[in-house]
């Protein structure tokens, strides 16, 4: 799932002037984990940030901080390290070691079941880290495959101590009973009590799942699974997967015993037991090759002939270090014959004859030196032969494990390629493509193309390894939630994890309240699709929400300046201004407004019609008309007419208003007046 900065305000934010948030890794019930850069130490870290709506809840806040404290007390190669913890405004966070790779859940999703060797290797690593926590008096309480991290470099680490607490505080009632139901021990289900043996139970369930590819208990409702934990016995893994060694069946049964007293007391006891179980289960005994402190060399013997040939003298010792002794024939004969003469005639043998400084016969010391020299020459040749043999063996081993068939290679990246292209690529790298392929949904790779391999890309394997090709079946189809009529924040939260939210489009609507979703659209091969007309939509598909800005403000009766201010406040612009006379709207006020686009969006112009006031009237000359005639003419123009009453006594005897002529008007004829103005008539009485 990709997330852009428009939909996640945390991306790009600098926390505590130290941690620059780069992208989102995962989202959980309490917090979201982001990849960030520690600008002070220039390293990548994982920053776990509590959800904003939980930060105000003191209980959640304390539990979140407890996770940092629990994990920070631990230091072990198989535990995710915690570097820092803090709060900034509404942001409560934990800074942790960043582990690039996958989770055990991802591995099980790809392979379903693991081999006994793989399962025991992972279990030993998790037990080693958990033993460190148990030794520190900390119970994890939320062990599950999602919390076991498998790094790209082969490290296995246990993380997420969000529910961890001291073993002395081992009750978990009410809202604190938050562990995943599939891995909860019977005592947690029935009594809400947890200790180190509860973690062992969860590990037993995980081992069963690694060996069989499925959890031992299933149900449509969480309570059905909880009931089975409390009342049933976990079956042997070999019943579901023939070939699982009996030793691992026994290990699962021991770890998942319903009575905590029948389980290992902690991770250390189970880890110690695993040393024997792994050997018996896999048939492999790992031998430690130690370098001996002393090496014994067996050298060939020599000098025996010399001892016999020189009349009983001691063997020669390294004659090369002394002068060469030359024996003439006579001296040799005499020397050889001396014993016979000695026995027959009783005379002693004559002494050796020397030529210059060279003795004619060897002394005992000279004989020892000659023998020693001969032995050294033999050892030199032997050493040379050994060196040559070792060099040839080393060259052969290097050739075998290097460019030869015994070498290791990295599995190449294949995402997005065709199956035939991947087969050729694997063969060119010294690997073989398995005949059978598998498939899985993938939102990023189109259907029919390769999405991954098993083992995954970048994994180092032996040349000739068979690699299974995983083909994309296209994005997974997901049922859409209710969108239209929801608030924009509610709709975004419901869609964000499964779909690619685009920037929302906003428009004015007289019928829909502000910040409420009016429509939702997506895209398919044919173009735009109305998501209100479909029930399911591909995972990762783009979704664009149309959100109401409320009604366009009513500016009728406002002055032009007031109308402009009201429109600017909601992002609209004042458009063309036209004027006309109006007897009903005062001069300078808006008679009517017209939106220039439908639907109206931010920046749309609104044209207004402004009143020029009442229509002007040129006062006619009504002189010489009778009062009744003049009054009728002026009132027909919308004017008010007044005149004084006749005070002449004769006016009482006839209809003077229809008889007496108008002498003048006030205002005078030709004056500009407006409807409603008053005109006064004058006449002679």
Average pLDDT along the chain: 81
Question: Which two tokens mark 534?
Answer: 């479909």
Sequential DSSP letters for 31-100? EEEEEEEETTTTEEEEEEEE-HHHHT-HHHHHHHHHHHHHHHT---TTB--EEEEEEETTEEEEEEE---
Which tens digits make up the pLDDT trace of 285-318? Answer: 343 322 333 333 333 334 333 333 333 333 333 4
Which tens digits make up the pLDDT trace of 633-653? Answer: 999 998 999 999 998 888 888
Sequential DSSP letters for 524-540? ETTEEEEGGG-SEEETT
Q: Which domains does the chain have, with CATH numbers?
A: 14-97 (3.30.200.20), 101-282 (1.10.510.10), 299-347+356-401 (no CATH), 408-472 (3.30.10.20), 477-548 (3.30.10.20), 560-611 (3.30.10.20), 616-683 (3.30.10.20)
SS3 322: coil
- Position 497 scores a pLDDT of 85
> What CA–CA distance (Å, rounded) separates 272 from 131?
10
118-132, 156-170, 353-367, 368-382: which has the minimum mean pLDDT? 353-367
The question of whether 142 is a catalytic residue gets the answer yes
- Position 371 scores a pLDDT of 65
> At which residue do the structure tokens 């019609």 appear?
609
> What CA–CA distance (Å, rounded) separates 676 from 639?
5
DSSP 661: B
> What CA–CA distance (Å, rounded) separates 179 from 196?
14
Which tens digits make up the pLDDT trace of 422-451? Answer: 999 999 998 999 999 999 888 888 899 999
Whether 361 and 309 have beta carbons less than 8 Å apart is answered as no
Confidence of residue 162 (pLDDT cuts 50, 70, 90): low
Confidence of residue 367 (pLDDT cuts 50, 70, 90): low
Which tens digits make up the pLDDT trace of 44-62? Answer: 999 999 887 777 777 777 7
Instruction: Measure the CA angle with vertex 277, ends 275 and 281; round to 5°.
Output: 130
Higher pLDDT, 375 or 50: 50
165 beta partners:
139
Options 8, 142, 249, 500, the catalytic residue: 142
Q: At what angle do helices 116-135 and 267-282 cross, to 10 degrees?
A: 160
pLDDT at 673 over 70: yes
Mean pLDDT for the stretch of residues 260-266 = 95
> What CA–CA distance (Å, rounded) separates 591 from 582?
8
Measured between its terminal Cα atoms, the distance across the chain in Å is 99
> What CA–CA distance (Å, rounded) separates 96 from 442?
29
> What CA–CA distance (Å, rounded) separates 487 from 431?
53
For strands 466-472 and 450-454, give the pairing: antiparallel
Which tens digits make up the pLDDT trace of 490-526? Answer: 999 999 888 999 999 999 999 999 999 999 999 987 8
> What CA–CA distance (Å, rounded) separates 348 from 608?
152
Higher pLDDT, 380 or 234: 234
Mean pLDDT for the stretch of residues 571-593 = 93
- The torsion angles phi and psi of 487, rounded to 5 degrees, stand at -70, 155
SS3 473: coil
SS3 331: helix
Confidence of residue 470 (pLDDT cuts 50, 70, 90): very high
Confidence of residue 261 (pLDDT cuts 50, 70, 90): very high
Confidence of residue 350 (pLDDT cuts 50, 70, 90): very low
SS3 676: coil
Higher pLDDT, 529 or 392: 529
Question: Which two tokens mark 591?
Answer: 């008679």
Mean pLDDT for the stretch of residues 26-39 = 88
SS3 148: strand
Higher pLDDT, 409 or 54: 409
Confidence of residue 180 (pLDDT cuts 50, 70, 90): confident
> What CA–CA distance (Å, rounded) separates 560 from 612?
12
pLDDT at 358 over 60: no
Whether 589 and 559 have beta carbons less than 8 Å apart is answered as yes
> What CA–CA distance (Å, rounded) separates 516 from 513?
6
Whether 552 and 572 have beta carbons less than 8 Å apart is answered as yes
Higher pLDDT, 86 or 120: 120
Q: Give 374: exposed, middle or buried? Use CB within 10 Å, 0-12, 13-18, 19+.
A: buried
Sequential DSSP letters for 266-314? SHHHHHHHHHHHHHHHH---PPP-PPPSS---------HHHHHHTTTPP
- Position 404 scores a pLDDT of 54
Which tens digits make up the pLDDT trace of 55-101? Answer: 777 777 777 777 677 778 788 999 999 899 888 877 889 999 999 99
pLDDT at 416 over 70: yes
């Amino acid at each position: 799932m990709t997330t852009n900065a428009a939909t996640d305000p945390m991306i790009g934010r600098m926390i505590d002037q130290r941690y620059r948030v780069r992208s989102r890794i995962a989202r959980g019930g309490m917090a979201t984990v982001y990849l960030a850069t520690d600008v002070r130490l220039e390293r990548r870290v994982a920053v776990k940030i509590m959800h904003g709506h939980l930060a105000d809840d003191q209980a959640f806040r304390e539990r979140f901080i407890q996770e940092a404290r629990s994990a920070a007390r631990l230091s072990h190669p198989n535990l995710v390290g915690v570097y820092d913890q803090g709060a900034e405004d509404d942001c409560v966070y934990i800074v942790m070691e960043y582990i690039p790779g996958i989770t055990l859940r991802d591995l099980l999703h790809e392979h379903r079941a693991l081999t006994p060797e793989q399962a025991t290797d992972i279990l030993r690593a998790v037990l080693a880290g958990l033993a460190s926590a148990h030794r520190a008096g900390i119970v994890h309480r939320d062990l599950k495959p999602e919390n076991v991290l498998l790094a790209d470099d082969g490290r296995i680490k246990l993380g997420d101590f969000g529910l961890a607490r001291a073993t002395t505080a081992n009750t978990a009632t009410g809202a604190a009973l938050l562990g995943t139901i599939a891995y909860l021990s019977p005592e947690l289900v029935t009594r809400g009590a947890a200790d180190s043996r509860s973690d062992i139970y969860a590990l037993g369930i995980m081992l069963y799942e690694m060996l069989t590819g499925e959890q031992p208990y299933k149900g449509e409702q969480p309570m059905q699974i909880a009931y089975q934990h409390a009342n049933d016995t976990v079956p042997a893994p070999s019943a579901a997967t023939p070939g699982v060694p009996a030793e691992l069946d026994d290990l699962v049964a021991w770890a998942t015993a319903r009575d905590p007293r029948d389980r290992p007391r902690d991770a250390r006891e189970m880890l110690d037991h695993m040393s024997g179980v792994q050997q018996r289960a896999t048939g492999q005994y790992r031998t430690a090759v130690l370098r001996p402190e002393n090496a014994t060399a067996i050298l060939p013997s020599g000098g025996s002939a010399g001892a016999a040939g020189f009349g009983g003298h001691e063997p020669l010792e390294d004659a090369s270090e002394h002068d060469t002794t030359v024996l003439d024939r006579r001296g040799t004969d005499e020397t050889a014959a001396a014993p016979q003469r000695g026995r027959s005639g009783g005379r002693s043998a004559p002494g050796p004859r020397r030529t210059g400084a060279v003795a004619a016969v060897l002394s005992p010391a000279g004989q020892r030196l000659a023998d020693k020299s001969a032995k050294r020459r033999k050892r030199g040749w032997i050493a040379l032969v050994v060196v040559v043999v070792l060099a040839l063996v080393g060259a052969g081993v290097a050739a075998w494990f290097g460019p030869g068939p015994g070498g290791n290679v990295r599995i190449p990246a294949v995402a997005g390629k065709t199956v035939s292209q991947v087969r050729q690529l694997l063969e060119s790298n010294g690997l073989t493509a398995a005949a059978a392929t598998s498939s899985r949904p993938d939102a990023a790779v189109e259907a029919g193309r390769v999405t991954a391999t098993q083992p995954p890309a970048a994994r180092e394997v032996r040349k000739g390894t068979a690699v299974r090709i995983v083909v994309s079946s296209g994005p997974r189809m997901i049922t859409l939630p209710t969108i239209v009529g929801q608030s924009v924040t509610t709709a975004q939260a419901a869609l964000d994890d499964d779909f690619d939210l685009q920037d929302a489009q906003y428009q004015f609507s007289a019928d829909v309240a502000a910040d409420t979703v009016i429509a939702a659209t997506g895209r398919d091969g044919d173009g735009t699709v109305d998501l209100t007309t479909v029930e399911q939509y591909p995972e990762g598909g783009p979704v664009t929400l149309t959100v109401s800005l409320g009604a366009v403000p009513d500016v009728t009766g406002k002055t032009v300046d007031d109308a402009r201010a009201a429109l600017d406040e909601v992002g609209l612009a004042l458009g063309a201004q036209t004027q006309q006379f109006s007897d009903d709207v005062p001069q300078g006020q808006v008679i009517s407004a017209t939106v220039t686009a439908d639907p109206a969006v931010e920046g749309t112009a609104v044209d207004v019609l402004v009143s020029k006031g009442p229509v002007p009237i040129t006062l006619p000359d009504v002189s010489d008309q009778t009062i009744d005639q003049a009054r009728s003419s002026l009132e027909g123009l919308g004017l008010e007419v007044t005149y004084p009453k006749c005070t002449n006594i004769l006016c009482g005897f006839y209809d003077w208003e229809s008889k007496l002529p108008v002498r003048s008007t006030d205002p005078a004829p030709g004056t500009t007046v407006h409807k409603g103005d008053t005109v006064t008539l004058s006449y002679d009485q």
